[in-house]
Structure 1
């Protein structure tokens, strides 16, 4: 059985992992709270949400399978070496469960709050349908031969691909609107922190083991961290540099979503006084 060479490195590994868990987990709440305060999801891209459910569900299947299944763990060590530590930690599983739940909550907000003319695109529906049909076919193929490591690796690949795709609609929507109103920057800052710490956690394990297997044996987690950092930096650039919100700026999106409701409220108050 594999073990840590340094107890201090193991403690650091666990610490970074759980800080990353809290950063990534809390990153969902600013958007949920923003939607609640505005009673609106205008500005939040629905394709991003649908793809996010697929992404986190796939990642949950991978993390839970590799963390809980002794069969999958045995197949992993047969492939990468009996002395290798399983590259999925408890914080990875907890994050995935929490992510699926909070994404579902955000989807529920889409149903009950003002959403304007926004809707899920046909391209998103096609991608999502194709992904789950492919996953079902892979399950049928893996079942007779007990190729469970291969199957969860398929789900890991799915979440990696969807991560690369899911941010694009929101980034493009921000570009079209020349605004990030309705898209929480708090979500992005916490997400970036989680991505950096997640990569740091993997680095600690590799240093302790003197092996890079942790990176390519769980290539999905490695590339996930890099993708998250890239897109979060892009959103930070959009929010603070390209499309900053300025007081008194004549932005049609701000006019519609922030100023107009205040004017309507003022008019209603004046009418009631008369």
Structure 2
């Protein structure tokens, strides 16, 4: 089988450097939230739906990257589809990042169960979305087995991780807006994620310039979309943290009607009496 080669050594070096910048930026970006949770012994301010959707995204991304990078059968189908001289659009740093991101996201989920979380909880919507995604993936596995449509199958996982990337930030962005604060949500995570996204897009551009082909972008459309979408949301979170709600501490938890309804009647009477005396 024909193996695509680099035409420019400087561009090849730039590709590797940008790839590892993206890897280290994205990998390190997982730690500020973990450290923040640990120091506060609390996950207040971190949206649980974001974590659930992000975990689904990271597992799907790991399956896609590892399969396309290690499986010769999938690589053969990729070249048959996009061209025998095309380079595989997944690098070693992509696989390494996927493994690392999955483990740390799973650890954040563990922190949610052991640290203070107030009245925050997982929504039925996010749990339903994650369940539907994995049910769809299982159905696609059954469909792909008879014809060994491996490239199509991993494209399904790629699509899942793209969808999760598009929607996973929405709960956190809304929660910040509702609380008028980013307290509890690490901005260090966002800054490093932004750097990783920019480096990732630059890496893909370098490969495309060397090969004089833009197949790299639409042949791995998932990588392209998640980078651009992540950059867009990162800019939003940066604006929320530094422009809209700088230095503001949010409420310890989201308001709950249940809390008001179950409040001790004696305390209610005292509050009312106190208001009357004022």
How far residue 252 of structure 1 moved from its aligned partner, in angstroms, is 5.6
Runs of 4+ in 1 over 3 A off after TM superposition: none
Distance 1:5 1:146 in 2: 34
Alpha-carbon displacement from aligned partner over 1:182-232 (angstroms, at most 9, x marks no partner): 000000000000000000000000000000000000000011110010000
Q: Distance in 1 between matches of 2:22 and 2:31?
A: 15
Tell whether 2:14 aligns with 1:16.
no
The aligned counterpart of 2:99 is: 97
Residues 23 and 193 in structure 1, CA contact (< 8 A), matched pair in contact too: yes
Contact 1:181–1:254 (Cα < 8 Å) also in 2:
no
Q: Which residue of 2 aligns with 1:68?
A: 70
Structure 2: state its 5+ residue gaps. Answer: 255-278
Hey, what does 1:118 align to over in structure 2?
Answer: 120
Note if contact 1:27-1:188 (Cα within 8 Å) is conserved in structure 2: yes
1:231 correspondence with 2:229 = no
C-alpha separation between the residues in 1 aligned to 2:235 and 2:35?
22
Q: Counterparts of 2:72 and 2:170 in 1: how far apart (Å)?
A: 37
Distance apart, 1:8 and its partner CA: 1.3
Q: Which residue of 1 aligns with 2:201?
A: 199
Q: Distance in 2 between matches of 1:50 and 1:75?
A: 32
Per the alignment, in what secondary structure is the counterpart of residue 154 of structure 1?
Answer: helix
For normalisation by structure 2, the TM-score amounts to 0.89
In 1: Cα distance, 2:230 partner to 2:44 partner:
23
Instruction: Encode CA deviations 1:71-99: one digit per residue, 9 max, x unaligned.
Output: 00000000000000000000000000000
**2:55–2:105: 8 Å Cα contact kept in structure 1?**
yes
SS at match of 1:3: coil
Contact map agreement 2:45 2:252 (CA 8 A) in 1: no
- Tell me the equivalent position of 1:168: 170
TM-score (norm 1): 0.90
Distance 2:125 2:114 in 1: 24
1:253 deviation in Å?
2.3
Asked whether the equivalents of residues 208 and 214 of structure 2 are also in contact (C-alpha less than 8 Å), the reply is yes
Tell me what 2:35 maps to.
33
- Of 240, 251, 254, the match for 1:253: 251
Give aligned pairs, total.
Answer: 252
Aligned to 2:148: 146
- Supply the distance in 1 between the matched residues of 2:8 and 2:186 (Cα, whole angstroms): 40
Distance in 1, matches of 2:253 and 2:116, equals: 16
The 2-side partners of 1:11 and 1:67 are apart by: 19
